[in-house]
A and B are shown apart, each in its own frame.
Chain A
Amino acid sequence: ETGVTQTPRHLVMGMTNKKSLKCEQHLGHNAMYWYKQSAKKPLELMFVYSLEERVENNSVPSRFSPECPNSSHLFLHLHTLQPEDSALYLCASSQGWKDRELGPHEQYFGPGTRLTVT
């Protein structure tokens, strides 16, 4: 247990469906992240929220829509996905960092949601 939970763990959806992934962290962190992990590709950072404000959006298609209602919860809303969007979606959290010299702190990951788009 890392203190970060994700639901559902598995999701199969058609291309016309709308679904949401949920992430919750119990670590008191103030930054949360969505990553996409496809087979044989490096982990891709999708979105970052710091203090509930979106601070990073890595050219992710608009069919992915994140939401961060508070510092403990993060959602990823999905609609009209494509088969190539099938992947493991990972949520992570961390403390933010202000001191340039210290560098980023470690991230704590949830178990992931295995998404299959048919």
Chain B
Amino acid sequence: SQQGEEDPQALSIQEGENATMNCSYKTSINNLQWYRQNSGRGLVHLILIRSNEREKHSGRLRVTLDTSKKSSSLLITASRAADTASYFCATAGGMFSGGYNKLIFGAGTRLAVHP
């Protein structure tokens, strides 16, 4: 079953504005990860937040995690045209698999930043 679901599906903003994307999930997690994908390319890992963390920063990215609500948000501050991409959250799905990662990705948020 799908674990992470992003909201909104699409977001269009002007350069310099902030962009906020949300992710909800259903079961308990050890960590939650955010990835970016430029059109037709591979995914790039952005940030990992553990279940015992509430907030994490990386450059212009800020991720929050609320395990009581089973939700996370990704904030991109002072957006640039180069931030135009799809953004995915990913969580570990199912039972502990032992020795390898099993991430389940949401459908993503398509972000368009206009100059």
Binding site for B on A (CB under 8 A): 2, 4, 6, 31, 33, 40-43, 45, 48, 50-51, 55-56, 88, 90, 92, 94, 96-98, 100-112, 114
Contact = CB atoms under 8 A, between A and B. Distances in A.
B106 A97 contact: no
Label chain B's interface by main secondary structure: loop
A42 B105 contact: yes
7 contacts: A50-B100, A90-B43, A96-B100, A104-B92, A104-B102, A105-B48, A105-B101
B25 interface: no
A8 B28 CA distance: 38
Interface residues of B, number: 30
Interface of B: 2, 29-31, 33, 35, 40-45, 48, 50-51, 88, 92, 96-108
Label chain A's interface by main secondary structure: loop
A98 B30 CA distance: 13
